[in-house]
Amino acid sequence: MAGIGTSTYWEDLRKQARQLENELDLKLVSFSKLCTSYSSSRDGRRGDTSDTTPLLNNSTQDRMFDTMSVEIEQLLAKLTAVNDKMAEYTNSPGAAALNAALMHTLQRHRDILQDYTHEFHKTKGNFLAIREREDLLGSVRKDIETYKSGSGVNNRRTELFLKEHEHLRNIAMATKENVTFQRGMLKSIQSKVNTLANRFPAINNLIQRINLRKRRDSLILGAVIGVCTILLLLYAFH
């Protein structure tokens, strides 16, 4: 490499580094403003239901974001290459006497490169996060508007369904209360009958005879039904 041992080569590298750093500084300021304006414009249009203008503006900002991202990445790559050449120069035999001063200067340029790289990735990450969030919110809002515009016919059906559901619920509750009331009355009557039976033995004996007759009649009726069923089956199969 021609002139690698001369101070002219080093000064040329420093000049290139400073020029790239200045360009990066301006680009990063514009890049940050773009991301801020993107967020602000989105916030200002949240209440706007119009689709044409927001889509156009967003598309323009997205293209600017992609273009500026590529340009900044290219500048960072060039500055990295210059820093690598400066590091190579500090290791050359001719620069050994000035190595401490050269390394200090090189470290300053490396720190600047690191700061710019960090700032770029942070701003880019924030922009992408905002865009993803706003795209999601926009999709949700669009679904809501679609539902509202198409649900006018269904509102009447939903209202009728809710009224019918409430009517059936009231019937079920009334039936439940009636059954509970009748059950309570039967328990009360049964309790009074038991009390009378215990208090008057004659009534108790009468109730027992009635129960026995009912069970006997049930057995006789069951036997008659069974015999009739058997006879019908025999008749059906012959």
Residue in 212, 195, 191 with CA at minimum distance from that of residue 203: 195
pLDDT band at 74 (very low <50, low <70, confident <90, very high): very high
User: CA 137, CA 140: separation in Å to the nearest integer?
Assistant: 5
Q: Which residues of 137-161 are buried (b: 16+ CB within 10 A; e: fewer)?
A: ebeeeeeeeeeeeeeeeeeeeeeee
Domains, the chain, ordered by start: 2-39+60-153 (1.20.58)
DSSP characters for 156-189? HHHHHHHHHHHHHHHHHHHHHHHHHHHHHHHHHH
What does the pLDDT average to over 113-127? Answer: 92
Give whichever of 44-48, 172-176, 230-234 has the largest mean pLDDT.
230-234
What is residue 1's predicted lDDT score, i.e. its pLDDT? 44
pLDDT at 212 over 90: no
User: CA 110, CA 128: separation in Å to the nearest integer?
Assistant: 27
What is residue 155's predicted lDDT score, i.e. its pLDDT? 65
pLDDT at 194 over 90: no
Q: What is the mean pLDDT of the chain?
A: 76
User: CA 14, CA 52: separation in Å to the nearest integer?
Assistant: 49
Written as one letter, the residue type at 135 is D
What is residue 58's predicted lDDT score, i.e. its pLDDT? 63
**87 Cβ neighbours under 8 A, 6+ residues apart:** 106
